[in-house]
Structure 1
Amino acid sequence: MYERTMFVKLLLTRDNVEANSKDEEGRTPLWFAVFHGNIETVKLLLARNDVEADSKDKRGRTPLSCSVERGNAEIVQLLLSRDDVEASSKDEDGRTPLSYAAERGNAEIVKLLLLRDDVMANSKN
């Protein structure tokens, strides 16, 4: 994991690297770092001013919803600390990060989400 983080760090020092590039499914480097639980890479990407932390893939999933579904509270907390992340964002199925956390019984992540003023606890999918 250390080598991968160093590689990302090196790439991000270049001005011509598009930190929000998307694959055919609309997933960004941040989305993949979240999916794989690479906290150091998530931190590196979030430190950039040009990273869209709330970018949606083709299914309407954001890095936050991905991190909630993966159960990574540390990454959830990193994403929720940003003002540009919509905590009640709905995917194509009408699911919110809170609905994923509740379904999985992850009380720690439910608590983190409910600390945000923009989380709608009564949202329906």
Structure 2
Amino acid sequence: VDAQGGQYGNVLQAAARAGNESVVRLLLERGAKVKAQGGQYGNALQAAAAGGNESVVRLLLGNGADVAARGGHCGNALQAAVVRRNESVVRLLLKNGADVNSPEGRYGTALCAAVHGRNESIARLLLEHGAELNTQGNTLHEAAVRGSRSVVRCLLDHGAKVNAEHKSYGNALHAAVVGGDGSVVRLLLDHDAAVNAQGGSYGNALQAAAAIGNKHVVQLLLKSGADVN
């Protein structure tokens, strides 16, 4: 039952990804190694989290799956659950000791994955469990450029620094202008974003809005004191 190979590495991981609880249970009863490494998801727990089946995740945890195991497509099981947008599995993994700030996977951290997916409820949950705002780059900039007003507000509510600098965007206001969502721009201005802050690929927010051709945002910035010179 532990033969290695194929997309999922072993039969347990394949069954876990498919969410087939009865097969997972049978394989465990026959001695399948719950912590076996390999395959697309690195281990069966991450595969189950990616598949979104809470009962399979719970079964694997009950049989000794390592919630902190690293590797695979998503980096760890917590990030897999976040990418899947499965809040109940995220809660289950956190309850079982998942490290909310583990720097793994394509997004860096679980919070970055939630911000990338524009998922305000999971972002808030992670922050309530101690997620750090700036472990990988700046999450506020990511939310701003993606035009996710609810996530931006969530991050600000939890202490994100509105004028923190980012090498590509300058401050979050600049990022929001690039994203093109006027409501996010207004929200950041209402939270004292520096309208004339310098930096980023366009130099400042007003230049970014002008270069992109967003007249509404240009007008909004000018009304907020942007310096045309």
Which TM-score applies when normalising by structure 2? 0.47
1:73-103 CA-to-partner distances (Å, cap 9, x unmatched) read 11111101113x111222xxxx311111000
In the alignment, the residues of structure 2 paired with residue 96 and residue 102 of structure 1 have an alpha-carbon distance, to the nearest angstrom, of 10
2:149 alignment partner in structure 1: 107
Aligned counterpart, 2:55: 6
1:97 to 136, 139, 154: 139
| TM, length-normalised to structure 1 | 0.82
- Aligned mates of 1:36, 1:51 — CA distance in 2: 16
Question: Of Structure 1 and Structure 2, which has the larger fraction of its residues in helix?
Answer: 2
Instruction: Write the distance in 2 (CA, Å) between the matches of 1:20 and 1:105.
Output: 32
Offset from partner CA, 1:14-55 (integer Å, 9 cap, x none): 3x321011115671100000011111111110112x310111
Structure 1: segments with no counterpart, 5+ residues: none
1:68 maps to 2:115: yes
**Equivalence for 1:18:** 66
**Equivalences for 1:11-90 in 2 at 5 Å?**
11-14=60-63, 16-24=64-72, 27-48=75-96, 50-57=97-104, 61-83=108-130, 85-90=131-136
User: What CA distance in whole angstroms lies between the structure 2 residues aligned with 1:64 and 1:44?
Assistant: 16
Q: Structure 1 CA distance, aligned partners of 2:90 and 2:107?
A: 20
**Percent of pairs with identical residues:** 28
> Which structure ranks higher in relative contact order (CA pairs < 8 Å, sequence separation ≥ 6)?
1
Q: Secondary structure at the match of 1:30?
A: helix
Q: Distance in 2 between matches of 1:10 and 1:71?
A: 29
Task: Tell me if the contact between 1:88 and 1:120 (Cα under 8 Å) persists in the aligned partners.
Answer: no
Q: CA RMSD in A?
A: 2.0
Runs of 4+ in 1 over 2 A off after TM superposition: none
Partner of 1:123: 164
- Structure 2 runs not aligned, ≥5 long: 1-18, 22-52, 167-229
